[in-house]
A and B are shown apart, each in its own frame.
Chain A
Amino acid sequence: MRRSGGPDEPPLVLTELATGALRLAAVSRGALAVGLTPGLTLADARARIPRLVTIEHDPAADDALLELMAEDCERWTPLVALDPPHGLLLDITGCAHLFGDEAALRHRVLRRFRRAGFTVNATVAGTPDAARALARFGRAAVVPTGGEAAAARSLPVAALELPDETHVALRRAGLKRLADLMDRPSRPLSARFGAQLATRLNRVLGREDRRITPLRALPPCFVEQNFPEPLADPEDVFRVLRQLVEHAAKTMEGRGEGGRVFEASFFPSDGGVRRSRVETGRPSRDAKSILRLFREKLDTAPFDPGFGFDLIRLAVPVAEPLAATQPQLDGKALEDGELASLVDRLAARFGAARVLRFSAVDTHDPSRSEKLVPATAALPDGASWPEPEPGEPPLRPLQLFEPPLQVSVVAEVPDGPPAGFRWRRVFHHVVRVEGPERIAPEWWRDPDRPARDYYRVEDREGRRFWLFRTGLYGEAPETNWYLHGLFA
C-alpha cells in the first residue's frame, strides 16, 4: 500500500467481501502497528479501532498498478513477468551490464520504486524461484552464481510456499529452515511430505529453472534509443522517432516484410509508460507515411513529455510479408465490419467522447429513457428498447420535447382528459383521447416531483400529441399541462 499518513492519521484499511463478511484485504502500516491484519472482519477491526478509515479493495486497480510497474521495468529489460499479487520477475540476462553490474541494476530498481513511495524488496539470483523465495523470505541482495543453495539455507520452510497442511506438518516435525531439509536425504522427506517438496526445494535452491512468461511477448522487431538526459522537446522526440522508424523499416526490408502495427513507447523519467499505436491497412515500411500517422495521432491527443523521456522504443508487433497486390478499391459495399471500422476511425480522429449513439435506459420516466453513449463503448447490461406490444398503437411519440412545453389546456376537473389545448397560439380541438397513463417520478431521484398523467390525443386535423398533467385539481397546489411529444 502506498504512503499511509502520519502517526496521527487514523489507520487505513482496504476491505473486501470474502467468505460472507466484509474483511480487511490490506492494511496500512499504521493499521498493522495497532494489530490489524488482513483477513480480520471489518466489524471486528472496528470493534478494536473505531476510528478506522476504509476503502473498498479494488483488485483490478492493484493488478493495473502492478502492470504499470511491470511496464516501467521494461526500461531495464524487455522480459518482465508479473508475479501477482505483488511481485515482478525481471529476466536481466544480458541486460545488467548496460547499467553497470547486477548490484547496480538492483540498486536502480529499488531506488526508482522507493522514490515513488513503494515498499519494495529485490533479490538477484540464478533462477526466478530462488530470487522470489529470497526476496520474500530472506535478505539476500545479489546471490553469486551458484550460491543459491547457500543463501537459501537460513530461509524458513515457508519459503517453499507449500500448502498450509504440509507447512504445519514440516514444523511439527521440527523442520523449520531449509537447511533442515537440505541436510537430510530427500527420499524420506518426499515419502512424507510429497514429491512437491523436492520440486519446490530444487527450484528455490536454483537446481531447477523454469521459464517465465513475460508480460509482453517480444515483438518480432523492435528498436530503441536511450538518452542520458531526458528528452523534453517534442520536435526532438519526433526526430528520434523518425530515426527509429527508418531503422525499423530497414530491418524489415531485409526480411521482406512490412509492418501492420507500429507501436512507439515513451518512457518518462518519472515513471509510467506512454504508448502510441498506429495501424496501417496493409503492410508497410514507408517511413514517411508511418510517421505521418504517428504525427496525426500524437497531435490530436495533447502530447506532453513532462519531465522528458529517457527511453524511446519502437516496436512492430504485427508484421506481414509485404503484399504485391492492393485490396479492392471500389469502396462500394460498406459491410457491417466496415461501419465498425468507420466508427473506429472517426473515434480515433475526433475522440471517443465525440462519436455517440443512443442507448436505451431501463426506466419508466420517458425523459430518461435513452441516453447518449460513446459509440465505441460496450452497451450497458440490460439496456434494451421496450418491445412494442403486438396489435397496440405506439405508446410513445417519435419526437420528444425536452424539456416539455407548457401549454394551456381545457379539461374537466379534477382529472379529466384534455378537451382542447393551445400550443404556439393555435388552439387544437381534441377529438380523440386515451389515458391517463400515470407515471410516477423515481422517488429516490426526485422525491418532490409530482406524478404525471399522460394522454395521447388527436386533434381535428388528425395530428397526434402527447400531453401530460402534473398535479390534480384539489390535491396538488397547482396543476399544469405540458406537451411532451408529437406522434408522427
Chain B
Amino acid sequence: MTSAYAELVAATNFSFLRGAAHPQQMLQTAMLLGQTGLGIADRNTVAGVVRAYSALKQLQEDGTPPIQKVREGSGPGEYAFIEHPIKGDLEVPKEELKRLAKTFKLVVGARLVFADGTPDIVTYPTDRTGWGRLCRLLTTGNRRARKGACTLYLDDLLADAADLLLIVMPERRLDGLGRTLAQAREATPGAIWLGAAMHRRGDDRRRLLRLKALAEEARVPLLAVNNVLYDTPEARDLQDIVTCIREGVTLAAAGRRLEANAERHLKPPEEMARLFRDAPEAVAETQDFLARTDFSLDQLRYHYPDEPVPLGYTAQSWLETLVWRRASFLYPNGLSRKVERLLKEELALIKELDIARYFLTIHDIVRVAEDKGILCQGRGSAANSAVCYVLGITAADPAKHDLLFARFISSQRREPPDIDVDFEHERREEIIQHIYERYGRERAGIAATVIHYRPRSAMREVGKVLGLTADVTARLASTQWGSWGNEIVDEHVRQAGVDPANPEIRRALNLASRLLGFPRHLSQHVGGFVLARGRLDEVVPIGNAAMPDRTFIEWDKDDIDALRLMKVDVLALGMLTCIRKAFELLKRYEGIDLKLNGFDPDGSDDRFKVYEMLQEADSLGVFQVESRAQMNMLPRLKPKEFYDLVIEVALVRPGPIQGDMVHPYLRRRNGLEEVVYPAPAPEHGHKNELFDVLHRTLGVPLFQEQAMRLAMVAAKFTDGDANGLRRAMATFRNVGTIHTFETKMIAGMVRRGYDPDFAKRCFEQIKGFGSYGFPESHAVSFANLVYVSSWLKCYHPAIFACALLNSQPMGFYAPAQIVRDAEAHGVEVRSVDINHSAYDCTLELCQDGALALRLGFRQVDGFSRAEGERLAQARGMGFASVEELATRGKLPAHSLRRLADADAFRSLGLDRRDALWAVRRLPDDGPLPLWAAADARELGDEPEARLPPMALGEHVAADYQTLRLSLKAHPMEILRPLFRRERIITSAELAALGHGAWARHAGVVLVRQRPGNGKAIFITLEDEAGITNVVMWESTFERFRREAMSARLLLVEGRVQKSPEGIVHLMAERAFDRTEELKRLSENHDPTIEISRADEVLRPQPPRQQATHPRNVRILPKSRDFH
C-alpha cells in the first residue's frame, strides 16, 4: 500500500523545554522516513523554522546534512559547531539525499496556545500575506506579555484569519470542541482541520470515531497527525528530562507529568496509515493540506529602508554624491588614483547588487552619533571598504592600507553586507533609542540570541533532574570548564573525583551531552539591529526584552543571514568612551582638538615616541595590547609602524598560537629564519602566487582570510571547497571530513609542483587555525585604537589616566594599577576630597603647569553619581565644616560616612578617624539637614574624644577597603622591613638580577591566568616597586595549588628568567601564602586588593557577597576556578 503522509504538527526544541529534537534533525528524519513534507509549528513562536529551512536548502543544494553553529563568545569566529549526522547506520548517498530534499515540502507556522482555554490551534500561512498576519498575531501576543511569554486569545486569531490554515488540536476532553470548530469555521471557512492523533492511549479508536463524528458535524476535514515532540522514539528520555526541567521536578517525582509512552515521534507513512485504518481519509488529507500552502521563507523579500534618500535622488545617486563630496573633504589635496579607482569599483558593485540603501542607512546612524558627539568606528570586514571609510563608518584609510573589498562584498557570494559598528559603551543606548525612534518599533528590532545549553548548564540541569547531589552535579559541571567539547571525556570526569563507570554518572553524562546545544530561551542580542522598509512585524514576530524599552525579533544572527535580511550591529566598546573623554579633556586643558581618524601612525613626527613606549611594553591601559601576553609580545615584535600593530593585535590570539604561527613569524621577523615563498611548477602558475597572499606577514598565514586564500591559490580550491574546508576545520574535533580536505589540499599542491613537506606544513597550520583566526580588516580597525590610545598615554598620561578611570569598568586593570601607572609616569595624583573632587576624576593645574589627577567620588565605594554631582554643585567657595557640608551638600548621613570612611575630609584638617567621629554624630536620617545642623550646634560641647591616632598601615588598609587603592603607600611598602629581614626582594631588585639568579619575591596577587593548554600558570604580583610576572609550571602548581589559588599576598621562590629582549619572569619553584601578613597593616581592617578583571580565577562569575559584611571581607572576591 502506498500512502503518502506528511507530519503537520511537529514541535522542535524551540518549543522550549517541550520538544526534544533540533529542527534540522526533525527535517532529516521526516525526509528519510519517506514523508512528503513536514510542518514545523512551535509553541507561539517561529524561532526555529529558519534552521529547518536552511537545512532543507543545504540538503537540496549539496546533499550534506547541516551543521549547527552555536556562538561561544563575542569575538569573530568564536563559534562551536554541532553536527546533525544522519541517524542510524544507513549510509544515505548524497545524490539520494538531494533527490529526496528536492521534492520535500517544508511548511512553517506556529502552534498557537491560548490563554482562554481554547484548544491549541496549529496555524500555517498559505502565502506571504498569511505569514505577515501570523507574525503580527504573535507580536500582539508577545507584546502583551512579559519577556519570553505570549498571551493570545482566540479572538485575536478569529479577528482576521484570512490566508491562514488552522488545525484544531483536541485536548484530552472533547467537550466544547464542537463550539470551537464552529467558531473557527465561521471565521475562515474551508481553511480549518481537526487534528487526530493515535498515541496508543487505550481508547484511541473510540476517540478517533468520536473525532470523526465531531468533524463531520462541524463539516471540517479530519487530519491525521502525530503531534510529535521528537524525531525518533529513542529521544523519549531526553524529552522526559526537558519536561522535568520545565516543571522543576526530579524524574522520580515527575510521575504523570511525563508522557506514558514513546509514541510522539515521527512515524513512517505506512505506520500512520495502519494506525488510521479506521479513517484513511485523514491520512490522505495531509497531502491536500500540503497542496494548500504556498509559502516558503525565501518569499520574505527584503527591502532596505529608504528614508535617508532626499527627493530627486535615487539611493545610488545619493550615495555617489555623498561619497564624492565627503572624499574631496577627506582628501583636500585631491584623491589618489588608487582611492579613486577603489571608490569607483566599489560603487559599481554596490550598484550591481543594489545595496546603496544599506550604506546610506549605516551612514545615517553614524552621522547621528557624530552629531551627538558619540565616537564610533566600524569593525570587522567593513573596514575593507573605501566607501565605508569615506562615509566615516570605518577608520582604515584606503590610501594607506591594502583593502580587500571582496572580503566584504562579492558578487559571487551574494551575501548581504554585514557592518558592525562600535560605539562608546556608556552612550550606546542613545543610538539604540535613536534607531527605534527613527524607524519605529514595527520596522526596527534587535536580533535575538538563542541561549543554548552549554556544558555547564546542561550538566547542572540534568544532574538536578536525575537527583544527583548538588556536589556531584557541580563537580561534573566543572569538568567542562570553558570548553564546548561535544564529548565529555572520561578522564576529565575522573579528575573531578567522580567515577565515570558508575551507571548513574554515565546516564547523566550521556543525557547532558545530548542536551548540549538545545535552545533554552531567547534573549536579545547585544546590538544587532534588523531594519526594514515595510513592517518588520510582518516578517518576523517581535517580542519584549527584559529591559524596558527594548524589543527584539525571534530570529538570531544566523537566521537573519540565512534569510538575507539587513542588519547592523550596534556594539559597545569601552575604549571609545575613554578616547572621547580624553579628547574632551585635551580640548579643555591643552586646547588640542583631535579626531579618531586624525592620526597618522606612519607619517607624523610624534609617532616614534609612541612606538618606543610600546616596544618597552609600557602599555597598561592601552587598547588590546595591555594583557600580560600582549605585553610579553611587544618587546619581541618591536612595533615600528602601523602594520606591526595590526599584526600584534592578531598574533596574540588563540588561532595563531594554537596553529604555532607565532614563533615562525617572530623568527622571520628577527632575521633568524629566511623568508621564502615556495612556488608552483612554472607551468602551473606564477611563482609569486604565494608571495601575494603572504608577503605582508612574512610568509606565515596569520589572518583568517590568508588561510582560505592559501588553499584557493596553492591547491586551487573552489569557493565551495574553501567553505567546506572552513566548516570541516571548525568541527574537526569529531569528524573525518577534514582528512578528505587534507588529502585534497596536499594532493592539489603537490600536483602543482609544491614540495609535499611544505604542503603538509601549510595544512597543519591551517588546521591549527581552526575557526579562531582574526580577519585582517578587523585587526586594522583595532590597531587604529591601539595607536590612538598609545598616543594619549604617551603624550598626555594624566589625561589618559583620568579618562580611563572615568570609563571604568573596562580593560584589564583595576583603578589601583591605573593610578600607580600614572604616578610612575610622573603624574601627581591627588586624593578624593570634599572640597576638590567632582564625581568623575578631574584634572588640576599644578604650579609648574603640569596637570595633576584629582580622584573623583566615583572611586568611593557605594557613593552615587547623583550625590557626587549634588555635592560638587553645592560646594561654591568650599565647605568650612562638616556641619556646613551636611546642610548645604544635602547628603544623607550614610553618604557622609562613606566620604569620611574614604578619608575625603583632609581639606578640613580632619583625618579619617576624626572625620568619622564628627560625621557619625549627625543623626542617621530622619530630620531635615537644617535640623541636623541645629542639633549639632546644640550638642556642640562634648568632651574631647581622645581617640587613638590611626597608624599609616591602618590608613592604607582602610583606603583599599573604601577606595580600592591608596595614595599613601603600597601595602608592601609598610611590610617591607619585615620582608627585608627575610631577604625578600622588590620587583625592581628582581628585574635587576641576571638570568638564572635565585630570588625570593613577594607581592599582592593581581592576576592569575591559565592559558590554552594549561601547562603553566601565570601569576602577576605587585609590590611598591612595580609588577612581577611569575610563571608556575603545572607540576609546581599541583604542589602549591592551595597557595596559588588562595593567597592574596604570595611569596614565590624561584629563578629569574630573562629573555634577550629583557622580558623578566620569575620561574616559581616554591610558593607560600603570606596573606596573614596583611593583617599586620592593621588588626582592624583587611585591605582590599582588587584583582584585575582579567583574573581567571575570579572572572567567569562576578564576585559574590560573602556571609559577612562585604566591606569586611571583600579582599579578593571569591569565585569558581580552573582545575
Contact = CB atoms under 8 A, between A and B. Distances in A.
Contacts of A453: 200
Interface stretch (B252-260, B305-313, B380-388, B1061-1069): B252-260
Interface string A23-49: 100000000001100111111101111
Nearest to B478: A43
Contacts of A173: 913, 916-917, 920, 947
B327 to A, nearest CB: 55
A21 interface: yes
Interface residues of A, number: 67
A167 B950 CA distance: 17
B920 A192 contact: yes
A193 B470 contact: no
A44 B1097 CA distance: 9
Given A39-B1108, A443-B237, A188 B1042 contact: no
A23 B949 CA distance: 39
A345 interface: no
A22 interface: yes
Interface stretch (B441-449, B583-591, B821-829, B1114-1122): B1114-1122
A395 interface: yes
Contact of B263 (A41, A42, A395, A438): A438
B57 to A, nearest CB: 36
A172 B202 contact: no
Contacts, number: 172
B912 interface: yes
B471 A19 contact: no
B1084 A42 contact: no
Contact of B1121 (A47, A54, A363, A436): A47
Contacts of B466: 444
B206 A434 contact: yes
A22 B474 contact: yes
Given A172-B1084, A173-B917, A17 B470 contact: yes
Nearest to A185: B943
A389 B174 CA distance: 11
Contacts of B950: 174
Interface footprint category on B: 35 or more
Interface in B909-938: 912-913, 916-917, 920-921, 924
Nearest to A194: B924
A219 interface: no
Interface in A43-68: 43-44, 46-51, 54, 56
A121 B1118 CA distance: 32
A18 B205 CA distance: 53
Interface in A376-403: 382, 386, 389, 392, 395
Interface in B169-224: 172-173, 200-203, 205-206
A172 B949 CA distance: 10
Contacts of B847: none
Contacts of B920: 169, 173, 191-193
A438 B265 CA distance: 14
B202 A454 contact: yes
Interface in A158-205: 164-165, 167-169, 171-176, 184-185, 187-188, 191-194
Given A35-B1073, A165-B1109, A439-B261, A48 B1045 contact: yes
A150 B471 CA distance: 48
A451 interface: yes
A362 interface: yes
A168 B943 contact: no
B1073 A44 contact: no
A166 to B, nearest CB: 10
Contacts of A50: 497, 1041, 1123
Contacts of B202: 395, 434-437, 454, 456
A173 B203 CA distance: 80
A192 B1073 CA distance: 38
Contact of B1120 (A38, A43, A382, A456): A43
| Residue from A17, A173, A184, A454 with most neighbouring chain B CB atoms (10 Å) | A173
A440 interface: yes
Interface string A366-377: 000000000000
A361 interface: yes
A364 interface: yes
A171 B261 contact: no
A7 interface: no
Interface in B50-72: none
B892 to A, nearest CB: 14
B1121 A364 contact: no
Given A21-B1104, A174-B948, A437 B201 contact: yes
B917 A47 contact: no
Contact of B470 (A56, A167, A395, A444): A56
B666 interface: no
Contacts of B814: none
A15 interface: yes
B992 interface: no
Contacts of B255: 361-364, 382
Given A15-B470, A48-B1046, A56-B471, 18 more contacts: A19-B1105, A22-B474, A47-B1121, A47-B1122, A168-B1085, A168-B1109, A168-B1112, A171-B1085, A187-B942, A188-B945, A192-B917, A193-B920, A362-B257, A364-B258, A389-B172, A437-B203, A440-B260, A440-B262
Considering the complex of A and B, which 8 residue pairs feature the smallest CB-CB distances, nearest first? A362-B255, A437-B202, A47-B1121, A164-B1109, A438-B200, A192-B920, A39-B1107, A171-B1084
30 contacts: A15-B470, A19-B1104, A35-B1046, A35-B1073, A39-B1106, A44-B1045, A44-B1118, A48-B1042, A54-B471, A56-B469, A169-B916, A173-B916, A173-B947, A174-B913, A176-B1084, A188-B921, A188-B943, A191-B939, A192-B921, A362-B255, A362-B256, A364-B256, A382-B255, A392-B203, A436-B200, A437-B200, A437-B201, A437-B260, A443-B237, A451-B262
Interface of B: 172-173, 200-203, 205-206, 236-237, 240, 251-258, 260-263, 466, 469-471, 474-475, 478, 497, 507, 897, 901, 912-913, 916-917, 920-921, 924, 939, 942-943, 945, 947-950, 958, 1041-1042, 1045-1046, 1073, 1083-1085, 1097, 1104-1109, 1111-1113, 1118-1123
